[in-house]
Amino acid sequence: MSEMIDIVVDNKTYKAKEGSLLIDLLIKEKIKVPYFCYHEALGADGNCRMCMVEIEGQKRPQISCDTFIKANMKVHSTGNNIEKVRRDILELELINHPVDCPVCDQAGECSLQDFYMDYGLHNSEVLIQEKIKHTKHIDLGANVILDQERCVLCARCTRFTEKITKTHELGIIGRGDEARVSTMPHRKLHNPYAMNVVDLCPVGALTSKDFRFSQRVWFLQTVNSICHGCAKGCNIFIDHNKIKYKDDLIYRFRPRRNDEVNGFFMCDEGRLSYKALQDNRQEVTLLNAKAITEEEALLEAKRLIEEYENNISVVIDANLYTQEIEAILEFSKKIGASAYAPLEVYYDENFKDDMLKSANRGANSQTIELLTIDTSTPKESGLVINFNHPDTFNSETVINFLTHKKALNSLIFPMAVFTENTGTLRNEEGIVQHCEQAIFKNTPIPTLIETVKKIQL
């Protein structure tokens, strides 16, 4: 079954695995095919009937999500016939759709809109009064809002709760054009991966309570990054935008497909972790809770390091980029300090599950271990330089590098979070992954590498 064979699509020959799904080939080769219900993570369901293609020798058009590739298959994905079929089915899809794109959050990333522009362009023939009315705003729980009227009944969300999370909260009730997605009465959508249904939904039926109405998607810029929520290292998209006269802000994280790491999904906690990155940030240099200039702070740091020579410990956060950890090690060698990275604090058994969540919540703790940095609590020393490690340490004096505000009486340097910087992480499986810089603040917060370089010793 797994032999590679030739298949002809639109008069071009492609290599494909015998017995594999035709739609997978079309998607892989970027041959335009409209579809709602098919999803590589969920498999074929065959209900939307949009992915029709013509296959020579078959008298009727066939859905490509239920067509298995055979040798010498000749497929036509374009042409008047097949485009008419797609257009006609799309017309049916739209007759009871509210067409409320101007107020719909999905606008701009909606399959229905895209396919309408590609194949539809019909005139509306059904009066608004004649359309089937459903409930427009149902809080399903878990930050997911359902608009039943916009739904195309592709059943991706129900299949997600059935096949992926196996929690079965969502189902389809009612028959014919009264069919709609719903939870059981008095039950809520409730699982740690629930918000993935928002990404799965090809239309605006399921929207994120967190994101909806905050931005039009075409204003967002997207960069590739890695979630720092745990050592799994789920691949993500960071969607951010810098509104005129305002600062660059992240509006959402979305999972980015990586079959070796996270597949198609990410957990809700990771998805919402962007908020904490921009709230309560440490932005200025402080000495004992009093703002001082950076120059003054650098001089004070220099003084302290010289004062405590050979009596200094450096503590490293396990969420820092590898490049940052290396810079700290170099710096600590230079000042004759011993480096520590206590990992116990990152271990959270309650967070763990058998899907994506790892009990190890230090996103780069693998690198700490690979570099054989001492993971025990630092020995009592005169000066501790803490690079954003969540614990506080006993010593006469402390220099803190902080991303977020903390009530500490010490010399404090602000430092950039991972989205304001670029670097790599090594996840728990040893896979090294790169994060791009997403955020360029109006007043950039220096990275710890920059600050460390500025301390003149």
Partner 1 sequence: MRECKIVSSRFHLKGSHTFRVAKENGVYKSLEKVKGYIPLEIIEIIKESGLRGKGGGGAFAGEKWALMPQNSTKPSFLVVNCDESEPGTFKDRQIISQDPHLLIEGILITCYAIKARHAYIYIRGEYKPFQDILQGAIDEAYQEGLLDTCDITIHRGAGAYICGEKSALLESLEGKRGHPRLKPKQKEPEWFFGNPTLVNNVETIATVPFILENGADAYKAFGTQKSAGTLLFAMSGHINRAGVYEAEFGTPMMEYINYFGGGIKNGKKLKAIIPGGASTPILTAEEVSKATLDYETMRSLGSALGTGGMIVMDEDTCMVEVLKNLLEFYHEESCGQCTPCREGTGWTDKLVGKILNKEGTKKDIDKLLEVATTMNGKTICVFAPAVSGVITAFLTKFRDEFEVKL
- Measured CA to CA, the distance from residue 195 to residue 388 in angstroms comes to 30
Cβ-based nearer residue to partner 1, 96 or 451: 96
Site map 28..67 versus partner 1, x via CB under 8 A: ----------------x-xxxxx-x-------xx----x-
Q: Given candidates 132, 217, 272, 292, which one binds partner 1 under the rule CB under 8 A? A: 132
- Measured CA to CA, the distance from residue 252 to residue 404 in angstroms comes to 20
Q: Minimum Å distance from CB 179 to partner 1? A: 3
What's the token pair of residue 291? 């703002």
Cβ-based nearer residue to partner 1, 62 or 323: 62
Helix (H, G, I), strand (E, B) or coil at 39: strand
What's the token pair of residue 51? 């992915």
178: CB partners within 8 A, 6+ apart: 132
Say if strands 144-146 and 170-173 run parallel, antiparallel, or are unpaired.
Answer: unpaired
The span of 90-98, 134-142, 304-312, 376-384 binding partner 1 (CB under 8 A) equals: 90-98
A 10 A CB-CB count for 350 gives 7
Q: Minimum Å distance from CB 197 to partner 1? A: 18
Site map 283..302 versus partner 1, x via CB under 8 A: --------------------
Q: Minimum Å distance from CB 66 to partner 1? A: 5
Cβ-based nearer residue to partner 1, 9 or 21: 21
248: CB partners within 8 A, 6+ apart: 240, 241, 242, 439, 440, 441, 442
Q: Which residues from 310-349 bind partner 1, rule CB under 8 A? A: none
182: CB partners within 8 A, 6+ apart: 138, 146, 148, 170, 171, 172, 173
50: CB partners within 8 A, 6+ apart: 34, 35, 36, 86, 89, 90, 93, 115
What's the token pair of residue 218? 């075409």
Cβ-based nearer residue to partner 1, 67 or 386: 67
Cβ-based nearer residue to partner 1, 53 or 238: 53
For the chain, the first-to-last Cα distance in angstroms comes to 67
Site map 155..174 versus partner 1, x via CB under 8 A: ----------------xx-x
Cβ-based nearer residue to partner 1, 61 or 204: 61
Q: Minimum Å distance from CB 19 to partner 1? A: 10
The span of 124-132, 266-274, 354-362, 378-386 binding partner 1 (CB under 8 A) equals: 124-132
- Measured CA to CA, the distance from residue 370 to residue 161 in angstroms comes to 38
452: CB partners within 8 A, 6+ apart: 327, 328, 331
Task: Report if residue 99 touches partner 1, rule: CB under 8 A.
Answer: no
Q: Given candidates 33, 89, 195, 415, which one binds partner 1 under the rule CB under 8 A? A: 89
Q: Minimum Å distance from CB 193 to partner 1? A: 22
A 10 A CB-CB count for 59 gives 7
Locate tokens 């430092």: which residue?
Answer: 415
Residue 172: beta bridge partners?
A: 181
The span of 135-143, 175-183, 271-279, 303-311 binding partner 1 (CB under 8 A) equals: 175-183
Picking from 234, 266, 277, 291, the residue whose alpha carbon sits closest to that of residue 425 is 234
A 10 A CB-CB count for 93 gives 21
**Complete DSSP assignment for 56-100:** TT-SS-EEGGG-B--TT-EEE--SHHHHHHHHHHHHHHHHT----
Q: What is the total count of residues that contact partner 1 (CB under 8 A)?
A: 33
Cβ-based nearer residue to partner 1, 68 or 440: 68
The span of 125-133, 219-227, 278-286, 297-305 binding partner 1 (CB under 8 A) equals: 125-133
Task: Report if residue 92 touches partner 1, rule: CB under 8 A.
Answer: yes
Q: Given candidates 29, 100, 177, 348, which one binds partner 1 under the rule CB under 8 A? A: 177
The span of 20-28, 86-94, 231-239, 251-259 binding partner 1 (CB under 8 A) equals: 86-94
Task: Report if residue 179 touches partner 1, rule: CB under 8 A.
Answer: yes
The span of 123-131, 277-285, 342-350, 406-414 binding partner 1 (CB under 8 A) equals: 123-131
Cβ-based nearer residue to partner 1, 130 or 349: 130
Give backbone dihedrals phi and psi of 426, rounded to 5 degrees, phi first: -120, 120
Cβ-based nearer residue to partner 1, 104 or 112: 112
Q: Please give the residue ranges that form the binding site for partner 1 (CB under 8 A).
A: 44, 46-50, 52, 60-61, 66, 68, 85, 88-89, 91-93, 95-96, 125-126, 130, 132, 152-153, 171-172, 174-179
